[in-house]
Structure 1
Amino acid sequence: MKNKRFFILIILFLVSSMSLNVFAATVSENTTNVPTIYGKAAITVDVATGEIIYAKDVDKQMYPASTTKLITALLLAENRVKTDKIKYTQSAKIQPADSLNVNLHPIALNETMSSADVMDGLLMYSANDTAYMIADNVAGNPTNFMKMMNDKAAKLKMTKTHFVTPNGLHDPDHYTTPYDMSILARAAFSNPWVKESMNKKQKSISTSKGTIFKIENTNKLLGLNGCIGGKTGYTSKAGRCLVAFYERNGREIMGVVMGSEIYPNDTYVFNDMEKIINYSYTLKRTVLYVNNSVVKTEILKYKPLKFFGPDKTVSVPLVVKEDVSYYKNYANEKDLKENINLSDISISSLKGNESIGTLRLTQKGKVKTYKLYSAASSGALVKNDMPIYLMAGGILVLVLVGIVLIIRANNLNKRKRRRRKY
């Protein structure tokens, strides 16, 4: 009896250990690999598909600081060409530190710079005065430019964003979210001129009076580990902010970090970005339905004789012929929805030869459609349709017999009429 009890205890111990190992592995995969960052809110997105990979308070309204300059750059690129002359204006002149005029060399009113140099000063050096040069020259004044910024944000469906200043200096009514900023960043990155400017590490720019400014990109990650562009930002209210684009093995992922720690060397925000980007490149998709698996079984109505005859019903397993997957994070799971739409059903489609409908998988800001196919067995369909086929066959035989009898009767009548005539 004691040996039996001892044997049972050993089995229970082994089972418990296996369960704990599986649980630990699950916890490790789903939680411990998710990076901890100083930024109050952040996001990473697959540039090609728009899918959210990493999410931390992506809808939290935050102050964007100089990452605002991405929309200013985009509006410049859409309304000017590189060779256009941009005047230095009064509203640019009065901008505080982190401007060409204050930090590098005084610029006189009405001096001009090429649009290309203004773009580089804006995105590389993050010069506050260049943002107002753009506002005045593109829209006439900063107020009109504010309207252009918000109209563009609305067009991009940045629903939780409102812009006031073209350079992102603090205003309580100037805010966005990491998710909205990711929308803007992808739109800016898709513009070749903006993308080119973000990718420059060093540049010399000049004014019409011959003043030359040597500038460097404030994005310290540029050129490291696949970083191909981005935009920094900082105010005391916003904290450290960063937008960055990466390309590794042909795949582009972008990240946004907002409200990171204020530190003289900016190490926190750059470390935050590297953590979430590295995580995003290694994260595997969560599979909802594997290839050739049943998504749902539906009772479907169809006509065995296609254009006429009675309707029949059949139980049809609906399958996908590719993996249905998504990136598991709270933002996607909160909005995750599955919607099945079925098309007109025919015998051919029930046999799985063609798509029978679609499965729409909705995540935050992303909808992907997968084709559905019938997995109904041929035997079940034949058995289901046999009575109608037999009935249709019987009717067809009766019709053919009737036609033959009518033809024979007509021939007989013709012979009789001939005899009478003769």
Structure 2
Amino acid sequence: MFTRGRRVYLDTAASTPVDADVYAAMKPYFSAHYGNPSSIHAEGRAAKAGLEDARSRCAEALAVKASEILFTGGGTEANNIALLGAVRALLDAGEKMDTIHVISTAIEHPSVKGVCEELKQQGASVTYVPVDSEGVVSVEAVRESLTKETKLVSIGYVNSEVGIVQNIRDIGRCIRGYEKEHGTKILFHTDASQAPLWENVLPHHLRIDLMTLDAKMLYGPKGAGLLYVAHGTRLVPVLFGGSQENGIRAGTENVALCVGLSCALKNAVAGRAEQSARVQTIRDTFITALREKIPSAQLNGSRTRRVANNINITIPGIDHEYLAVWLDKEGIAVSTKSACLGVRGSASYVLEELGLSQRESGAIRMTLGKETTQKDMAYTLKALVRFMQKFDRGN
């Protein structure tokens, strides 16, 4: 339950509010254009037109073809379709599971890591490329992991916990070079759900075959995502039923949510440069002030390869879940890890991979939004200082 008075929302990596223009674009498809887009009558055709307009708008924002946009029920579903669909397509083409090599990292979103573990259980070979102490995957480490049996690489663009921005473009260049040198074909997937508001997500720029996006990270609705599928990339369905979405994702499309996603993505791409620079300035000002006021606070992950809106800190000796609850009562929403991990008290495997497992009680993640102000962060800093004064008195 919200407390009375001021609220500062610093958990945009988990969800964002729906922009007013996005909501306005969605509304007709809840009422006036309510038809099933697969139906042949006028109501169905109106819904279908809205769906395809949304697909074209997404394609335009990403500078790709409309036929390369696959609508899904969110980022988790898109990741499952990408990875499982690609591997099943290989099996259909005659590959054996024990000859399929998949490369990923151990700091991926649970919906990628979970699929990789499932593929391993089914007999595939899975290599988790290590990250350094700042959470960065080196291009050379990826290069050293590639083999002639490598069929799929999945590396997230922006980590949802510590905000590290991986060098997807150069990793893509490395993979394409290996393909040319050895005469192989390797599908390259990135989960870019955390990226569009802050980073360039044009697939051709990144040299990728498959890319996941999620509307709820873009000031769009929950329950909507997309998977970019490069022309010529074959996927096999992981859901069965109708022939929607080129036969890859069965089930009636939620037209309203797809329209909302398309509007939110268009806004994100158009406003990226300006809002990224503004929010990064606010973020950096806060980090500098935090280190002055609370010298023991430690920033987790790289300072330089960090997405504009992410702050992930550990204060040694502090119970960070207690701190998060205390801040919520002060009107400040933060998190202690990715919301997708879900279980209260569970350790962050991302921080462990960065070598931070010995730090007590985890971390606090603050992710700023395009509406966050300097005053919001000054208020947050004052609250943290008050908490530390209270904590010090208690000790």
Fold shared by both chains (TM-score > 0.5): no
TM-score bracket relative to the smaller structure: under 0.3
What TM-score comes out, normalization by structure 2 length? 0.25
What TM-score comes out, normalization by structure 1 length? 0.23
* Higher relative contact order (CA closer than 8 Å, sequence separation 6+): 2
Q: Which has the higher strand share?
A: 1
